[in-house]
Amino acid sequence: MEKLERDGKVAVLYSPGYGAGWYTWGGDERMIFDPRIVQAVLDEDRKRAIEIVAEIDKNIYTGGAEDLAVQWIEKGTQFKINEYDGNESIEIIGPSSFFIA
């Protein structure tokens, strides 16, 4: 899977606002790593981010897009995305079978 990398870190998208989770409600791993979506968020163009997701699969839920944020995580770091009432957070963890930046 293609990822946006800078200075040994990988860009990870998540939605820290309450209401709807981005990845946790959308359920497609590409939603957190796709460099086109990440760049749209960095450019503050959430509408374009949603359009890109629709190009991937029009059935993916894109709630939480208005709160999207990028967290830069060291390449090779294991993490998971937690969600409570739509508010997502990234938890850095030890060895496990979760996502790896």
Give the mean model confidence (pLDDT) for residues 26-54. 95
Give the mean model confidence (pLDDT) for residues 28-35. 93
Contacts of 24 (CB under 8 A, 6+ apart): 81, 82, 83, 88
Q: What is the pLDDT at residue 28?
A: 87
Q: What is the pLDDT at residue 100?
A: 66
Q: Write down the mean pLDDT value for the chain.
A: 91
Q: How far apart are CA 57 and CA 28, in angstroms?
A: 9
What is the pLDDT confidence band of residue 97, given thresholds at 50, 70 and 90? low
pTM above 0.85, yes or no: yes
Give the mean model confidence (pLDDT) for residues 74-98. 85
Q: What is the pLDDT at residue 76?
A: 86
